[in-house]
Amino acid sequence: MAPITTLSFARYESQRAWSLLQMQLGHGRLAKVPGLRFYKLLGTGAGSGFSLWPDWDTYALLSVWEDHAQAQDFWQNSEFSALHAERALHRETFWLETLHAAGKWSGENPFPNASRKRSEHPVGIITRATLRASRLHEFWEAVPKAAKAIESAEGVTWFKGIGELPWIQQATFSVWESQEAVRNFAYKSQPHADIVKKTRARNWYTEDLFARFAVVDHQVEELQ
């Protein structure tokens, strides 16, 4: 079977101290999971999802798998999944097949070669970057404008800011109705175009990645 990426968001609320601690302890449980070729434990942004401040109730796990069966076994049977399901109120998992990925994340492009070029499924977008320390103020000054642009975009159905290190290693995940909706936003949204130009001109990033996926499944679990 083809490789698959999962991106899962869990909301804990009354388990803030425990869920924050898992950002460190989780590495031990994930280090030797069969079929897991790349993963990131991620915090999320507060408010609408794109914020300077973290959402202390919601955390995410991005994982890239050798195949669908190993991913399914992890979410259904692993100690990690069961432990978090016991504590979380809500879990939402997106199953993603790569359409296109360019750039690097921690020195590599973690997403497998595209298994398809086009898709009738909804489209998921991940943008990710490590910020230059000298450009932090400029970047965060631009975030409200970027957030407003995506919040009001036609065809976007889901979005959230994600990141490894607050303020420095940042990413976004968004889901769109179609590839046409993504193209319209990319080429017709003036605020988005302005931010892309400034990013290039001011050299904000030391490392960045853009990836586009077919959202082949979307699972929502109410756990409490």
Contact 91, 167 (CB under 8 A): no
Q: How many CB atoms lie within 10 A of CB 154?
A: 11
Tokens 């909804």 belong to residue: 122
Residues of the chain with pLDDT under 50: none
DSSP structure string for 163-208: EEETTTEEEEEEEES-HHHHHHHHHH-HHHHHHHHHHHHHT-EEEE
Dihedral pair phi/psi, residue 113, rounded to 5°: -55, 145
Q: Residue 126 and residue 5: Cα distance in Å, rounded? A: 12
pLDDT digits (tens, 9 = 90+) for 83-139: 999 999 999 999 999 999 999 999 999 997 776 667 789 999 999 998 888 877 777
Q: What is the pTM of this model?
A: 0.91
Amino acid at 105: W
Going along the chain from its start, the domains and CATH numbers come out as 4-222 (3.30.70.100)
List phi, psi (to 5°) of 132.
Answer: -70, 135
